Amino acid sequence: MHRLTIAEVAGALRRREFSSEELTRALLARIRELDPELNAVITATEEEAMAQAAEADRRLASGEGGPLTGVPILHKDIFCTRGVRTSCGSRMLDNFIAPYDATVVEKLAAAGAVMLGKTNMDEFAMGSSNETSFYGPVKNPWDTDRVPGGSSGGSAAAVAARLAPAATGTDTGGSIRQPAALTGITGLKPTYGRVSRWGMIAFASSLDQGGPMTRTAEDAAIMLGAMAGFDPRDSTSIDRPVPDYTAALDQPLDGLRIGLPREYFGDGLDNDVAACIEGALEVYKRMGARVSEISLPNTHLAVPAYYVVAPAECSSNLSRYDGVRFGYRCQDPRDLEDLYKRSRGEGFGAEVKRRIMIGTYALSAGYYDAYYLKAQKIRRLIRDDFMRAFEEVDVIMGPTSPTVAFRLGEKTDDPVSMYLSDIYTIAVNLAGLPGMSIPAGFAHGLPVGLQIIGNLFDEARLLNVAHKFQQETDWHQQVPGGFE
């Protein structure tokens, strides 16, 4: 049962091959048995899951429900879940029982999905390896000496290890796509504003976007359909109808124009990763796509601009953690300033402190124009590069990550080298575009992700392009050893 996709589970539940309660019980047992090796799950919500499964079985028995009814999923621990600890991977929120559900959680529950628990993540989603979590690093199921990527590393590892058919993730600079690539699963970051950010703990509000992490593009289409939509409670939510993302999955790719940015194939890209991407492009050519080289000339400025914009927004967003209203409070504060300083100093880990300090510095008197304003100007150049490219091509393809999964501890002492592992994903967030990562082969025995970038609100096309590839290949069906 644990190897089935969402679409397969939905069919089996409808045919009464097993019940949602049976499936949920089996997956909870699998999490208990296998997760100690991976550390992908922070909180398993066994009682709530069994209650939701029983309710789903009742709906299914009376002929109600949709494609997610009775399907067990995991939520990244950045999404608020009422009555359940929502830690965001931080000591700061280790004691935080959310008083309400995030819109994404509410929508998936309304669609009948069963929540198995909450997944591990880099602290406040700041990291590319899942090593900054207060709850310890997540291990990559393909090689437990290696990282699963981050920040949605727990979600990625859990889906790859078949602990759940799908999980939610969030992506501020690559946090869905990079871990999806490094664990051999399918991940989609929607257009900025497509999925509500309400109840999704804020890191960098102009970049953060939630999305599905699944094993197939078809499942991502089903899940995105339930997650997306206008939400008046998110001031940047876009009021635009949600298409049926499954409707166009099988459209032929004849004549599809694929652009390859030459800047994504330069120095720093592992040769064996490059070979997998070239192999994937051959598959697309056989399906009738036309591949041409394009240029995104300001690509090299994306990481520098991001490390102003994201920390600046983070320093502002994280000022709410003050030890007064919720979250961690230090022992015996001398005065109010000591309360603030020690609660924050003890509650946040090193990477979060680094980013708060960079953001504070960039926004401090006298430096605003040199850093924040400059970064916003670069952001326009990067956005304009993509807009020009989409006049010539339908989708942009390249590697998701320059390398396969790296070793635990390999980059923890050098933040800048860690930041550069998101070199191909960050620009997409700055431009607000949708992007996907799908499995495209193996290099050095580890999964490689193909990144597919689309124009604004072109998720249906991305899913179609990804689905057709998965009809021609079986990279997405490979299971890590020990997790069959």
Partner 1 sequence: MSLDRQDVERIAHLARLAIDEADVPGYARNLSDILALVEQMNAVDTSAVEPLAHPMEASQRLRPDEVTETDQRELFQGIAPAVENGLYLVPKVIE
Report 56-95 residues binding partner 1 (CB under 8 A): 95
Contacts with partner 1 by CB under 8 A: the residue count is: 73
Q: Which helix (H) or strand (E) holds 438?
A: strand 435-443
Q: What single-letter amino acid sits at 137?
A: P
Among 222, 93, 215, smallest CA distance to 157 is for 215
Span near partner 1 by CB under 8 A; candidates 140-148, 217-225, 286-294, 342-350: 342-350
Cis geometry, peptide bond prior to residue 417 (ω within 30 degrees of 0): no
Is 165 near partner 1 (CB under 8 A)?
no
Q: Looking at beta carbons only, is 18 or 367 nearer to partner 1?
A: 367
Residues within window 134-153 making contact with partner 1, judged by CB under 8 A:
none
Is 289 near partner 1 (CB under 8 A)?
no
Is 322 near partner 1 (CB under 8 A)?
yes
- Smallest distance from partner 1 to CB 387, Å: 10
Catalytically active residues, by annotation: 76, 151, 175
Q: Which one of 329, 412, 442, 478 is in contact with partner 1 (CB under 8 A)?
A: 329
Q: Looking at beta carbons only, is 25 or 374 nearer to partner 1?
A: 374
Is 412 near partner 1 (CB under 8 A)?
no
β-pairing, 72-76 vs 114-119, is parallel
Q: What angle do CA 372, 125, 426 make, to 5 degrees?
A: 50
Is 443 near partner 1 (CB under 8 A)?
no
How large is the C-alpha radius of gyration of the chain? 21
Is 265 near partner 1 (CB under 8 A)?
no
| Inter-residue contact 440 to 448 (CB < 8 Å) | yes
Is 316 near partner 1 (CB under 8 A)?
no
Is 353 near partner 1 (CB under 8 A)?
yes
DSSP 91-125: GGGTT-B-SS--HHHHHHHHTT-EEEEEE--SGGG
Q: Looking at beta carbons only, is 338 or 472 nearer to partner 1?
A: 338
Is 380 near partner 1 (CB under 8 A)?
yes
| Inter-residue contact 78 to 204 (CB < 8 Å) | no
Distance (Å, rounded) from C-alpha 461 to C-alpha 435? 11
Among 97, 350, 352, 103, smallest CA distance to 203 is for 352
Is 337 near partner 1 (CB under 8 A)?
yes
In the stretch 216-255, what mask flags binding to partner 1 with x, by CB under 8 A?
Answer: ----------------x--xx-x-----------------
Would you give the distance in Å from CA 207 to the centre of its chain?
Answer: 12
Is 476 near partner 1 (CB under 8 A)?
no
Q: Which one of 116, 200, 220, 430 is in contact with partner 1 (CB under 8 A)?
A: 430
Q: Can you name the residues that pair with 193 across neighbouring β-strands?
A: none
CB under 8 Å to 18, separation ≥6 — which residues? 1, 12
**Which class for 236: exposed (0-12), middle (13-18), buried (19 or more C-beta within 10 A)?**
middle
In the stretch 167-206, what mask flags binding to partner 1 with x, by CB under 8 A?
Answer: -------------------------xx------------x
Q: Looking at beta carbons only, is 456 or 479 nearer to partner 1?
A: 456
